């Protein structure tokens, strides 16, 4: 199985429109990550000197200090590391929207790499630390500039 098999895609937004649009920093360091999401791929840095995965992107490997760690594609599979059910609007466009669930997940194919996202589905459902989740590429093609978020949902039982 390649990392790109069986990806889930949606143009439905979990959160209301009006939140700030994520864009790569001006130095381009995180561009491979954001551009990868637009192509339904999860790209994280994978040091070719020592094999360490890291995210967010940095100019050096935090383990061995090698410069310019390259990006590798990893499968959008993870386990819930931490979570929060948010009730209070942290932005005007979230007024009256809550609750919603924010998760920190750890990628199964990139040990130690954790990412933030929303847990799709019923915001009042139980959230289980360690449960398997799969990435959902939430595309916003009409935004200026267009962008994609990586969201998460429980892996369907086999
Ligand atoms: Zn390294």
Q: How far is the CA of 81 from the centre of ligand 1 (A)?
A: 24
Count the Cβ atoms, other than its own, within 10 Å of residue 70: 10
Is residue 4 one of the residues assigned to a domain?
no
pLDDT digits (tens, 9 = 90+) for 9-48: 998 899 998 898 988 889 999 999 999 999 999 999 999 9
Number of domains in the chain: 1
- How much of the chain is helix, strand and coil, in % rounded to 5? 5, 35, 55
CA of 68 to the centre of ligand 1 (A): 10
Give the distance (Å) from ligand 1 centre to CA of residue 113: 14
Q: Confirm whether 124 is domain-assigned.
A: yes
Q: What is the distance in A from the centroid of ligand 1 to the CA of 122?
A: 40
pLDDT tens, position by position, 132-152: 999 999 999 999 999 999 999
Q: Is residue 9 part of a domain?
A: no
Residue 88 lies in a domain: yes
Q: What is the pLDDT of residue 2?
A: 56
Q: Tell me: the pLDDT tens digits for 92-112?
A: 999 999 899 999 999 999 999
Ligand 1 centroid – CA 101 distance (Å): 34
- Residue 116: give the domain boundaries: 23-154
Q: Is 93 helix (H, G, I), strand (E, B) or coil?
A: helix
Domain assignment present for residue 55? The answer is yes
Measured distance CA(75)–CA(52) in Å, rounded: 16
Residue 66, in any domain of the structure:
yes
| Token duo for residue 94 | 């979230």
Distance of CA 54 from the midpoint of ligand 1 (Å): 9
Burial class (CB in 10 A: 0-12, 13-18, 19+), 26: exposed
> Is residue 104 assigned to a domain?
yes
Residue 108 resides in a domain: yes
């Amino acid at each position: 199985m390649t990392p790109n098999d069986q990806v889930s895609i949606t143009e439905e937004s979990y959160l209301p429109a009006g939140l700030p649009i994520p864009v790569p920093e001006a130095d381009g360091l995180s561009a491979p990550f954001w551009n990868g999401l637009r192509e339904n791929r999860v790209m994280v840095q994978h040091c070719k000197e020592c094999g360490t995965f890291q995210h967010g992107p940095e100019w050096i490997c935090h383990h061995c200090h090698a410069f310019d760690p390259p990006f590798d594609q990893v499968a959008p599979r993870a386990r819930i590391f931490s979570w929060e059910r948010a009730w209070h609007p942290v932005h005007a466009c979230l007024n009256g929207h809550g609750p919603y669930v924010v998760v920190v997940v750890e990628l199964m194919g990139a040990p130690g790499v954790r990412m933030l996202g929303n847990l799709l589905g019923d915001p009042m459902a139980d959230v289980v630390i360690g449960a398997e989740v799969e990435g959902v590429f939430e595309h916003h093609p009409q935004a200026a500039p267009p962008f994609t978020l990586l969201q998460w949902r429980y892996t369907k039982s086999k």
